[in-house]
Amino acid sequence: MNTEEAVVYVIDDDEAVRGALKDLLESVGLRGNIYTSGQEFLAAKRADLPSCLILDIRLPGTSGLDFQRELGMANIKIPIIFITGHGDIPMTVQAMKAGAVDFLTKPFRDQELLDAIHKAIDRDREQRHQRSEVIQLRERYEGLTPREREVLALVIQGLLNKQIAAELGTSETTVKIHRGQVMRKMQAESLPDLVRMAERLCIPAQKY
Amino acid sequence: MVRNRVVLVLLKYGIAAIAVTLALLITQSLQPTVFPTPLFFAAIVVSTWFGGIGPGIFAVFFATLLLDYYFVSASRMFSIHPAALLYLAQFSFPALLSSWFVKKRKDAEQALKEARDQLDAKVQQRTAELREANQQLQAEIAERQRAEEAFHKTQADLAHLTRVMTMSELATSIAHEVNQPLTAIITTGDACARWLAVDPPNLRRVRESLSRIITEGTRASEVVKRIRGLSKKTTFQKSPLQMNELIHEVIALMEHELVTNKIHLQIELASKLPFVYGDRVQLQQVILNLVVNGIEAMNEVRDRARELLIKSEKADLDRLQVSVLDCGCGLEQNQVEHLFEAFFTTKPGGIGMGLSISRTIIESHGGRLWATTNPDHGATFQFALPAADGSDS
């Protein structure tokens, strides 16, 4: 794992526990950013890097579980590892159901925590990768002219150039040129590749 | 509306005309035995009374005219004879005056009537207001009573709850207080080991980690020290005690629990027991603990009477012994071995401190606390304490 490119956020109201976690993270070469409360975390500027959040269940004001819900509602997608002094089973179930990566009871073994962190960061990296791919595809799609988009929608239906020309009321040669442009701009290597891209972008195969 | 008023005005003038005409007819029929003027006066007064000043003046003129016509001029015609004028003036001036007085009188009466009506309405309104205020007050009193009852109930509930909760709450809080520094120590220790493992070891970070470990170790020990301080606050206050007295006091405290749990209590206290030298509150706590345990052990007993026996006796020359016997579920052999260990409990909600604390107290008084199984049902918990001899107390 390339640890240079990841950040681990820690929210715990106990200064010593915060400090200890930062120490442990740094001793394995991870970047640790520590916060005393959820509000402080939300207010802080966060790097655009694969990351995860170590969150104490028992926080003053809003609890860790509440904060998890808050992040979900604010559409902040970050894998969470919960730590708690005395976690009961219903609490654990609630946290895991809401998508937590792990639920550790204090004091925890360092390897347990580090494994959870690696799992969480891998998960975040994967999610980010998928998100950025979609963003790239959308940019490419936006580079198409309206006519090319029409052609794309018909091509992914499996229509032949001749049929497309008839649909759009143009010549087959023109369609061929448009189609070449679409393949080039979308950086699609083959028709199935283009169809997959369209699926990722949720472009429906329209009928004209 | 306007028509009604016109009719009313006409009616008033009509009454005046009729009254004066009536006066004329009666006076004429009685001639020449009576004076002509008095009945006309009466007619004017009546007109003013019912019709007001307008019809009054009208009656005066009408009467004057008729007098002149029928009685003053012999020839029954309107003459302008100076003597007649004087006579008529003599009549009409007092008539006008009396008409004016009547009007005043009538107005005064009207005003009085109105004032009375207003007063009546006001009294009624005030009465209604008072009634409403009274109802509100009643409702408030009822509400207050309900609130007070609820408050007393809550207070009673709370008192019960605190007794049950305090120990476990305290334990949770202490666990958290100790757990935080322990977490910091263990995690920092792990980090420290890694700073040492790199080549070359990062000694600056090792020192930083060690410093946190020491700080947090101190913090944990502070927590422990505070707890010890708490227990030291209940200092020993040793005095010569009459064991039977302590038992009676505890029973008085437990009265409610005994009744609600339908416990049949038997007491067998030996007379002439020697004094015990010890702390009253602590020894009471031990007895209380044993009684509560006994009651709880009989929770599930349905098929026989729930009997609890408290006994005091002289064990041998210099010891006395207190026993609490229940007929509950009894003890298993492996339970007897662990009964007095801290955190050992057979009760669903228990925290396993009661017997452990009790044994500590008895031992600090130079005594012994133990448990045995009864031959039929339940268990016996008993403690023996050294008697305070004469030289000691």
* Region label for B378, one of left (φ > 0), alpha (ψ between -120 and 50) or beta (otherwise): left
Closest chain A CA to residue B177: A85
Domains recognised in chain A with CATH numbers:
3-132 (3.40.50.2300), 143-200 (1.10.10.10)
**CA dist., res. A119 & res. A122, Å (int):** 5
Closest chain A CA to residue B196: A27
Of the ranges A39-43, A183-187, B265-269, B358-362, which one carries the lowest mean pLDDT score? Answer: B358-362
**CA dist., res. B256 & res. B162, Å (int):** 17
pLDDT at residue B99 above 90? no
Q: Cβ of B208 and A23 within 8 Å? A: yes
Q: Note the pLDDT of residue B62.
A: 85
Q: Note the pLDDT of residue A63.
A: 85
Q: Note the pLDDT of residue B249.
A: 83
**CA dist., res. B286 & res. B291, Å (int):** 9
Of the ranges A10-19, A117-126, B25-34, B203-212, which one carries the lowest mean pLDDT score? Answer: B25-34
Using an 8 Å CB-CB cutoff, list chain A residues near B215. Answer: 16
pLDDT at residue B10 above 90? no
Q: Are B279 and B356 in contact (CB under 8 A)?
A: no
CA distances from residue B87 to B67, B74, B83 in whole angstroms, order as listed: 10, 14, 6
Q: Cβ of A107 and B172 within 8 Å? A: no
**Long-range interactions of A182-188: CB distance < 8 A, separation 24+:** A182/A144, A182/A148, A182/A151, A182/A152, A182/A155, A185/A140, A185/A143, A185/A144, A185/A148, A186/A137, A186/A140, A186/A141, A186/A144, A186/A152, A187/A140
Q: Cβ of B175 and A106 within 8 Å? A: no
**Burial of B98: CB neighbours in 10 Å, binned 0-12, 13-18, 19+:** middle
A31 or B32, which is more confident? A31
**CA dist., res. B217 & res. B359, Å (int):** 31
Closest chain B CA to residue A30: B191
Tell me the pLDDT band of B167, cut-offs 50, 70 and 90: low
Strand partners, B312: B269, B322
Q: What percent of chain B has pLDDT over 90?
A: 27
B276 or B350, which is more confident? B276
- Residue B183 tokens read as 């977490």
pLDDT at residue B323 above 80? yes
Of the ranges A130-134, A145-149, B26-30, B136-140, which one carries the lowest mean pLDDT score? Answer: B26-30
Closest chain B CA to residue A13: B180
Q: Cβ of A23 and B216 within 8 Å? A: no
Q: Cβ of A28 and B194 within 8 Å? A: yes
Smallest Cα distance from A86 to chain B, Å: 8
Q: Are A90 and A46 in contact (CB under 8 A)?
A: no
The H-or-E segment that residue A7 falls in is strand A7-11
> Of B184, B187, B209, which has the smallest distance from its Cβ to A110's Cβ?
B187
Strand partners, B387: B276
For chain A, say whether B186 makes contact (Cβ under 8 Å).
yes
Q: What is the mean pLDDT of residues B189-216?
A: 94
Smallest Cα distance from B290 to chain A, Å: 31
Go through chain A and tell me how many residues it has.
208
Closest chain A CA to residue B186: A107
For chain A, say whether B182 makes contact (Cβ under 8 Å).
yes
Q: Cβ of B183 and A23 within 8 Å? A: no
Q: Note the pLDDT of residue A1.
A: 47
Q: What percent of chain B has pLDDT over 70?
A: 85
Q: Note the pLDDT of residue B228.
A: 74
Go through chain B and tell me how many residues it has.
393
Per-domain boundaries in chain B = 2-121, 157-232, 238-386
Tell me the pLDDT band of B171, cut-offs 50, 70 and 90: confident
What are the average pLDDT values for consecutive 10-residue runs of chain A, which has 208 residues? 75 93 94 92 90 89 87 90 83 86 91 94 91 88 90 89 90 92 91 88 65
Closest chain B CA to residue A26: B191
Q: Are B365 and B278 in contact (CB under 8 A)?
A: yes
Q: Are B308 and B263 in contact (CB under 8 A)?
A: yes
Of the ranges B119-133, B225-239, B299-313, which one carries the lowest mean pLDDT score? Answer: B225-239
The H-or-E segment that residue A34 falls in is strand A31-35
Closest chain B CA to residue A21: B187
B42 or B195, which is more confident? B195
For chain B, say whether A85 makes contact (Cβ under 8 Å).
yes
Smallest Cα distance from B339 to chain A, Å: 26
- The topology under which CATH files domain B238-386 is Heat Shock Protein 90 (3.30.565)
Rg, chain A, Cα only = 24
Using an 8 Å CB-CB cutoff, list chain A residues near B208. Answer: 23
Q: What is the mean pLDDT of chain B?
A: 83
> Of A23, A26, A107, which has the smallest distance from its Cβ to B183's Cβ?
A107
Tell me the pLDDT band of B189, cut-offs 50, 70 and 90: very high
A49 backbone dihedrals φ, ψ, rounded to 5°: -135, 160
Q: Which of A52, A92, A58 is nearest to A76 (CA)?
A: A52
pLDDT at residue B271 above 70? yes
- Residue B335 tokens read as 């339970």
Q: Which of A199, A192, A194, A191 is nearest to A144 (CA)?
A: A194
Q: Note the pLDDT of residue B227.
A: 75
ipTM of the modeled complex: 0.72
For chain B, say whether A195 makes contact (Cβ under 8 Å).
no
pLDDT digits (tens, 9 = 90+) for B277-316: 988 878 888 898 899 889 888 888 888 889 999 999 998 8
For chain B, say whether A70 makes contact (Cβ under 8 Å).
no
Q: Note the pLDDT of residue A93.
A: 87
Using an 8 Å CB-CB cutoff, list chain A residues near B191. Answer: 20, 23-24, 26-27, 110
Which residue of B180, B185, B199, B202 is the best one to mutate when testing the A interface, meaning the one whose CB has the most A CBs within 10 A?
Answer: B180
For chain A, say whether B206 makes contact (Cβ under 8 Å).
no
pLDDT at residue B73 above 80? no
- Residue A58 tokens read as 């028992």
CA dihedral over B83, B88, B91, B93, signed as positive or negative? negative
Using an 8 Å CB-CB cutoff, list chain B residues near A107. Answer: 179, 182-183, 185-187
Q: How many CB pairs under 8 A join A and B?
A: 76
pTM of the predicted model, to two decimals?
0.47
Closest chain A CA to residue B202: A27
The distance in angstroms from the start CA to the end CA of chain A is: 49
Q: Are B268 and B310 in contact (CB under 8 A)?
A: yes
Task: Give 3-state DSSP helix, strand, coil % of chain A, rounded to 5.
Answer: 55, 10, 30
For chain A, say whether B187 makes contact (Cβ under 8 Å).
yes
For chain B, say whether A21 makes contact (Cβ under 8 Å).
yes
For chain B, say whether A87 makes contact (Cβ under 8 Å).
no
- Residue A111 tokens read as 């390897």
Cα angle at A122 between A116 and A127, to 5 degrees? 125
Strand order, beta sheet including A80-84? A31-35, A7-11, A51-56, A80-84, A102-105
Q: Which CATH number is associated with domain B157-232?
A: 1.10.287
Smallest Cα distance from A84 to chain B, Å: 10
Q: Cβ of B179 and A106 within 8 Å? A: yes
pLDDT at residue B88 above 80? no
CA distances from residue A172 to A144, A158, A185, B351 in whole angstroms, order as listed: 19, 15, 20, 86
Q: Cβ of A16 and B212 within 8 Å? A: yes
3-state SS track over chain B? CHHHHHHHHHHHHHHHHHHHHHHHHHHHHHCCCCCCHHHHHHHHHHHHHHHCHHHHHHHHHHHHHHHHHHHHCCCCCCCCCHHHHHHHHHHHHHHHHHHHHHHHHHHHHHHHHHHHHHHHHHHHHHHHHHHHHHHHHHHHHHHHHHHHHHHHHHHHHHHHHHHHHHHHHHHHHHHHHHHHHHHHHHHHHHHHHHHHHCCCCCHHHHHHHHHHHHHHHHHHHHHHHHHHHHHHCCCCCEEEECHHHHHHHHHHHHHHHHHHCCCEEEEEECCCCCCEEEEHHHHHHHHHHHHHHHHHHCCCCCCCCCEEEEEEEEEECCEEEEEEEECCCCCCHHHHHHCCCCCCCCCCCCCCCHHHHHHHHHHHCCCEEEEEECCCCCEEEEEEEEECCCCCC
Q: Note the pLDDT of residue A41.
A: 93
